[in-house]
């Protein structure tokens, strides 16, 4: 093999080595640039829940407060805002609703003005009638409940931090706690 052929072989080997080295370096940078792994969202992604919390967007703070307290009591709780990135919210909500044992709907002035919440209300009522699931209306503002919610005993969550709020929350937890977990 002549000097020119050796030069060509060395050039090809060098090029391949450079490409492989660059690929490894780029891949390493991509891994390093990724955000640190966050704790998975509380939504199980198709798992079953003890409680599905339905709420209008304007009631998200009240919903978050309630869901956090329910989770602190050991209840598997679905809250739409906990749906992770890349998931389809309506599909996750539908799957969670069908796999939840109980439903709680927060009632405020915004509740029945939201078409998506009206759909959830109808689904929660349907499940209460056909599937023996519990549907609990929860007042977060002083509003009149719609007729089918009015026939159920609501919980009063209008004054967070008050004794009434704590009593209502305790009643709710007792009502939705899985029977095997009951004291």
Residues 84-118 have pLDDT tens digits of 999 999 999 999 999 999 999 999 999 989 999 99
Is residue 30 pLDDT above 50, yes or no?
no
Residue 59: is it exposed, middle or buried by C-beta count within 10 angstroms (0-12/13-18/19+)? Answer: buried
- Strand arrangement, sheet containing 49-54: 77-79, 49-54, 100-107, 134-139, 155-156
Residues in the chain: 183
Nearest-angstrom CA–CA distance, 19 and 84: 37
Q: Characterize the bridge pairing of strands 77-79 and 100-107.
A: unpaired
Q: What is the pTM of this model?
A: 0.72
Mean pLDDT of the chain: 81
CB 93 within 8 A of CB 41: no
Q: What is the DSSP string of 39-92?
A: PPPS--SS--EEEEEE--GGGHHHHHHHHHHHHHTT--EEEGGGPPTTS-HHHH
Nearest-angstrom CA–CA distance, 79 and 65: 11
Considering 33-37, 45-49, 114-118, the range whose residues carry the highest mean pLDDT is: 114-118
């Amino acid at each position: 093999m002549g000097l020119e052929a050796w030069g060509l072989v060395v050039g090809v080997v060098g090029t391949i080595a450079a490409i492989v080295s660059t690929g490894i370096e780029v891949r390493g940078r991509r891994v390093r640039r990724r955000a640190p792994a966050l704790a998975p969202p509380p939504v199980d992604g198709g798992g079953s829940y003890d409680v599905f919390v339905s709420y209008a967007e304007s009631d998200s703070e009240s919903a978050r407060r309630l869901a956090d307290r329910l989770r602190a009591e050991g209840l598997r709780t679905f809250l739409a805002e906990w749906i992770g990135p890349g998931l389809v919210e309506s599909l996750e909500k539908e799957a969670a609703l069908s796999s939840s044992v109980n439903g709680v709907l927060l009632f405020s002035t915004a509740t029945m003005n939201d078409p998506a919440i009206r759909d959830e209300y109808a689904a929660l009522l349907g499940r209460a009638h056909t599937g023996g699931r519990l549907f609990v209306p929860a007042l977060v503002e002083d509003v009149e409940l719609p007729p089918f919610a009015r026939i159920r005993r609501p919980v009063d969550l209008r004054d967070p931090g008050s004794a009434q709020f704590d009593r209502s929350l305790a009643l709710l937890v007792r009502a939705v706690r899985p029977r095997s977990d009951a004291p």
